[in-house]
Amino acid sequence: MTRFYVTGFSLLLIGLAPGCSSPDKERPPAFTSLGGAYSGNASAQESTCEKPPEVETAGTCGSETVVLFQQKPTIYFVLDVSGSMADSVQKGEESKLSAAKEALITVATEVGHRVKYGLTIFPGDEGEFDLNNPDNNQNSIFGCAPGDEVFAVQEGDALVCLNYKANGPVLKDFKQTVNALTVAGGTPLSPTIEKLIPTLAGQEGETAVVLVTDGSPNCNPEAVCTIDDCGANRGSYSIRLEDGERIFCDETLNCCDPDAVGDILNHPQAECVDIDASERAIEFLRDAGVNTYVIGVLGGHAFDDEMNRLAHAGGVARDGSLAYFDVESLDELSDTVRLIGGQLAQRCEIELVERPPQANELNVYLDGTVVPWGDSDGWTIESDLVSLHGEACDLVKSGEVTEIQLVSGCRTVIR
């Protein structure tokens, strides 16, 4: 059976004891908001800590807690920190890496308490690099080592008060890790994804990758390509000679051809677009049950075809000519990562450990407000799965709902 998971809310299912009188069953429990001192940080201690609504069952039918099946999803960030990420975003003065840092911290702050999250950056640390024996190296091209996990997957901090974002040790550690990142090297995407497959495929519950990169993958020393598939040519790069002069990678010079530039550059083939291997790696990850959301901070459209291929391989391609998320500014990047994070953290399906004995005595509440039954803007139940529809689902996905509660034992409210 396909498993559905409760993803990110504080949920409560109250089963009311049998033998209640009929009038009681016609009156679902009331909800009240709680207040109290918050001890999470100094600025909040002087304010009221808003708690989720509490079920007030007095005078109804008594209560018995029933367990829900809960599993937080995993959002795994894979971040390109290659040298070109030091360039500015197309619309703004921030560097691409600075914009990416802010976007990742934003989504971890907003939905971290509802998910598990982790981070790998690429390229990785070269470690011990033996220039005399390149065959002994993990990757014989300096700046092209497979990525490193810099933040292992873990649950975000619990949300103590609804009116204050979670800001515990997990988030603080993540912020410190992200803020310390610097740029260097190439774009070894395929070996990075291959390295991550055991880690990501082994996660419990739904897992998705959010890939943020600013160009096409490269770093394959065995690649052979024409001018059209040479990243240096597509990026209009130039090569600085020893005498200070520059030669330009244009229609007259293939800067990935060792016969043309081999006396100037070591391993020029590494600038060839390495799309085939990267596409296969992401497809393998998708086949293992892990989708990849592809965000491109390109500053142009020279690599649209490659980015589209990666997005389709990831299993969650967008409709239209751009299958990947094309962003041009800090705000766009933050909004995109926030959107993806929100979609992953919030679902409209709630799996119950077992179906209530009387489905016509079940009610669904969003932050204390009852949602009438119905398949247009309400909810329905099939077997042990409760599904939200229409406006109810949209409200949950918007991130505005902090708690879903299911109460059994009182007659179902119908629109």
Could you say which DSSP state residue 222 is in? T
User: What mean pLDDT, rounded, does the chain reach?
Assistant: 80
Q: Name the band, by pLDDT with cuts 50, 70 and 90, for residue 127.
A: low
CB atoms within 10 A of CB 15: 21
The confidence score (pLDDT) of residue 52 equals 59
Tokens of 385: 């799965």
Give the pLDDT mean for 105-120.
Answer: 91
CATH ID of 74-220+274-345, from 3.40.50.1820, 3.40.50.410, 2.60.40.10, 3.90.70.10: 3.40.50.410
The confidence score (pLDDT) of residue 36 equals 33
Higher pLDDT, 258 or 13: 258
Kindly report the CA angle at 113 between 205 and 288, in degrees rounded to 5? 20
Give the pLDDT mean for 360-377.
Answer: 85
The confidence score (pLDDT) of residue 33 equals 36
Q: How far apart are CA 269 and CA 224, in angstroms?
A: 6
The confidence score (pLDDT) of residue 160 equals 75
The confidence score (pLDDT) of residue 238 equals 87
Residue whose tokens read 């911290």: 105
Read out DSSP for 13-66? EEEPPSS--HHHHTSPPEEE----B--S-HHHHTSB-----EEE-TTTT--EEE
Give the pLDDT mean for 254-272.
Answer: 90
**Residue percentage of the chain with pLDDT more than 90:** 42
Higher pLDDT, 57 or 126: 126
CB 87 within 8 A of CB 96: yes
Question: How many CA within 13 A on the CB side of residue 271?
Answer: 26
Is 389's pLDDT higher than 90? yes
Distances (CA, A) of 168 to 49, 59, 140, 346: 16, 39, 41, 21
The confidence score (pLDDT) of residue 50 equals 72
- List pLDDT tens digits, range 293-324: 999 998 666 688 999 999 999 999 999 999 99
Domain spans, the chain: 10-69+352-408, 74-220+274-345, 226-268
SS3 238: strand
pTM attached to this predicted model: 0.76
